[in-house]
Homo-oligomer: A and B are copies of this chain.
Amino acid sequence: MQIVITGGAGFLGARLARTLLASGSLSLAGAPAQPIERITLVDRVAPPDDLAGDTRIAAAVGDLNDQLAAPDASYWATAAAVFHLAAAVSGECEADFDLGMRSNFAATHALLERLRGLGTRPVLVFSSSLAVFGHSPEQPVPAVIGDETLPTPQSSYGIQKFIGEQLVADYTRKGFVRGRSVRLMTVSVRPGRPNGAASSFFSGMIREPLAGVRAACPVPDDTLVALASPARTIEGLVRAAEVDDTRWGPRTALNLPSISLTVGEMAAALERVAGPTATALLDRTPDPAIQRIVKTWPGRFEAPRAAALGLKTDASFEQVIRDYVRENPDAVKLPVNA
Determine if A44 is an interface residue (Cβ-Cβ < 8 Å).
no
Partner pick for A156 among B138, B159, B174, B251, CB 8 A cutoff: B174
Tell me which residues across on chain B come within 8 A of A174, comparing CB atoms: 97, 156
- On whether the beta carbons of B159 and A166 are closer than 8 Å, the reply is yes
Determine if A149 is an interface residue (Cβ-Cβ < 8 Å).
yes
Could you mark each residue 163-187 of chain A with 1 if its beta carbon is under 8 Å from any beta carbon of chain B, else 0? 1001101100110000000000000
Determine if A152 is an interface residue (Cβ-Cβ < 8 Å).
yes
- On whether the beta carbons of B152 and A159 are closer than 8 Å, the reply is no
Of A139, A162, A166, A167, most B-chain CB atoms within 10 Å: A166
- On whether the beta carbons of B251 and A139 are closer than 8 Å, the reply is yes
A: interface residue count bin: 20 to 34
- On whether the beta carbons of A251 and B166 are closer than 8 Å, the reply is no
Tell me which residues across on chain B come within 8 A of A167, comparing CB atoms: 159, 163
Within the complex, the shortest CB–CB distance from A140 to chain B, in Å, comes to 9
- On whether the beta carbons of B156 and A166 are closer than 8 Å, the reply is no
Closest to A159 in B: B170
Could you mark each residue 17-41 of chain A with 1 if its beta carbon is under 8 Å from any beta carbon of chain B, else 0? 0000000000000000000000000
Tell me which residues across on chain B come within 8 A of A148, comparing CB atoms: 150
- On whether the beta carbons of B169 and A159 are closer than 8 Å, the reply is yes
- On whether the beta carbons of A156 and B170 are closer than 8 Å, the reply is yes
A149 to B153, CA, bound (A): 15
Q: With A150-B150, A153-B170, A156-B170 in contact, is A250–B163 under 8 Å at CB? A: no
Determine if A252 is an interface residue (Cβ-Cβ < 8 Å).
yes
Please report which residues of chain A, range 127-162, place their CB below 8 angstroms from some CB of chain B when the two chains form the complex: 136, 138-139, 148-154, 156, 159, 162
A336 to B144, CA, bound (A): 55
- On whether the beta carbons of A252 and B152 are closer than 8 Å, the reply is yes
* 20 cross-chain CB contacts under 8 A: A97-B174, A138-B249, A138-B250, A139-B249, A139-B250, A149-B150, A150-B150, A150-B151, A150-B252, A153-B169, A153-B170, A154-B173, A156-B173, A156-B174, A159-B167, A159-B169, A159-B170, A162-B166, A163-B167, A166-B166
Interface positions of A (Cβ within 8 A of B): 97, 136, 138-139, 148-154, 156, 159, 162-163, 166-167, 169-170, 173-174, 249-252
